[in-house]
A and B are shown apart, each in its own frame.
Chain A
Amino acid sequence: MSDYLSIFEYQFFRNAVLAAILISVFAAMVGTYIVSRKIVFIGGGITHASFGGIGIAYYLGANPFAGAAIFAILTALGIEWIAQKGKVREDSAIAILWSLGMAMGIIFVFMTPGYTPNLMSFLFGSILSVSTTDLYVLAGFGLLVGIIYAIFFRPILYTAFDPEFAQVMGVRVAIFRYMMSVLMAMAIVISIRSIGIILVLSIFTIPQITAMLFTRNFARIIPLAALWGITGSVTGLILSYLLDIPSGASIIFFLTIQFLILKLFFVIKQKIATRSAKV
């Protein structure tokens, strides 16, 4: 038990826990939008396309996360534009941008002379090396998403649910859709630093799906998803230290285990309810 607690004496670990909490909070808001609209695949496209930006930034000697952000935002806007125009098959367009981004990333990282950056940290994240500055960025972004949701909750919900009807009601659907696309892209890129390209989507989906076991009310899914995100990621972090396994993977693994345990609980509860109803 003392082992268990002593880890909190290290600042790097406290930073990691704070990062996990902050990411869980804004991912709960953005992820509920993603899961409700069933656009997880778009999230995947944005995430992987951003690798192209990382590669180019490395090649040019620029900040890789600025490169990732530019690529992610352009991809998100591009996908939304294609969806609104409807001239190209949306899923195919996403797949093209997804793989094109990865391909460009690989080419430019390969072409970068000298030291090749540790690709693993982009692919799997490095939450244990989160700095205090990173925490400020996460907190600032979380605050921004919170304010946007507080002010525009209704139009965000309505354009996600039935955009055509929202437009008839005078909601600026296109603007809200583009705004949410940018927010999604930014949320993903900011989380890549900690969780990595391969694993980042899970924090935007697993806690939300877990929350949806309890409620089908958009507004209530958000706080519940934040809660399950925090419990899952912090437990995953602690386990990664105790078991000496990679932290990002451990977080995702525990988020999934948590979901499965709760799902099982609900299935059993349902079975008992139907059985007693029969009797």
Chain B
Amino acid sequence: MSKPIVILENIYTGYGTKPVLEKVNLRIEANDFIGVLGPNGGGKTTLMKLILGLLNPYSGKVSFPSGRPPTGYLPQVSQIDKSFPITVKELVSSGIKDKNPWFPHLGTSQRKRLQHILDEAGLTKLASRPIGELSGGQLQKALLSRALINKPRLLILDEPNTHVDKQFESDLYKWLKELNKEMAILLVSHDIGTITPIVKTIACVNGTLHYHPSNQLSEEVLRVYNCPVDVIAHGPIPHRVLKSHEHDNQ
């Protein structure tokens, strides 16, 4: 077992007096690719906010054995105001962590990095466009570039497969597999069918967290872990068909 980069120990957390997560334990290691599954309102986003430091636990501990790793974050696209007057270039630049947060500016190396990441994502031609003119897939690419520009060691993605076409989704998963060689990935989704083939392990989040150290989910696991999710079969993209099962245990 390699050294973990994030450890969650016996976490209780929520918003105000409303608890959302209880008794959560999780270790994230350098090359993990964890699919975070669970129903809406089950606490997936809360778990993410906890790891990102946007939310504090009521009790328990979030620790980073070798310091907080550079973290890339892709929020749900519905959280983005597409009518905001910001260009693709500015959007992606906002992922650059300023060494001096009080007098921030982009240095030469940061501009080079920006150009490189725009090239890689195929966004160079769109760099000066406002984000309102992008398609769903292009916006996701821009948001993912923003998450990656800082060379993160932990990448957290919240429902990256919404409002995109199948081709983009398939490209995205190939890209993530490559990225996983260099960073740990936490992929939040409510759609079990599309993500199980690409993730290595699965965390079911529904009020609490059950870690499943493989990407194979049986009906038994789903039932025991109380992890109701939408099972959707997708055609042209690479996927692993789940074992067939009957819903006789509801």
Contact = CB atoms under 8 A, between A and B. Distances in A.
B93 A154 contact: yes
A273 interface: no
A199 B113 CA distance: 46
B71 interface: yes
**In the complex, the 10 A-B pairs of residues with the closest C-beta atoms, listed nearest first:** A216-B130, A216-B85, A158-B94, A218-B85, A154-B104, A168-B73, A168-B52, A217-B87, A161-B84, A161-B86
Interface string B39-65: 000000000000011100000000000
Interface in A206-222: 212, 215-219, 221
Interface in B1-22: 16
Interface of B: 16, 52-54, 71, 73, 75, 79-81, 84-87, 90-91, 93-98, 101, 103-106, 128, 130, 132-133, 146, 150
Contact of A169 (B87, B97, B105, B106): B97
**Which of A172, A215, A218: most chain B Cβ within 10 A?**
A218
The prevalent SS among residues of A at the interface is helix
B101 A170 contact: yes
Contacts, number: 77
A212 B85 contact: yes
A157 B86 contact: yes
A162 B80 contact: yes
B213 to A, nearest CB: 28
B101 A168 contact: no
**Which of A32, A161, A219: most chain B Cβ within 10 A?**
A161
Contact of B85 (A87, A162, A217): A217
A217 to B, nearest CB: 5
Contacts of B16: 87
B98 A221 contact: no
A220 B220 CA distance: 58
A155 interface: yes
Contact of B104 (A155, A165, A215, A221): A155
Interface string A155-167: 1011011101111
Contacts of B71: 168
B94 A154 contact: yes
B97 A170 contact: yes
A136 interface: no
B54 A164 contact: yes
A36 B105 CA distance: 22
B75 A162 contact: yes
Given A161-B91, A166-B94, A217-B85, 8 more contacts: A155-B101, A158-B94, A162-B94, A165-B73, A165-B95, A172-B101, A216-B87, A217-B87
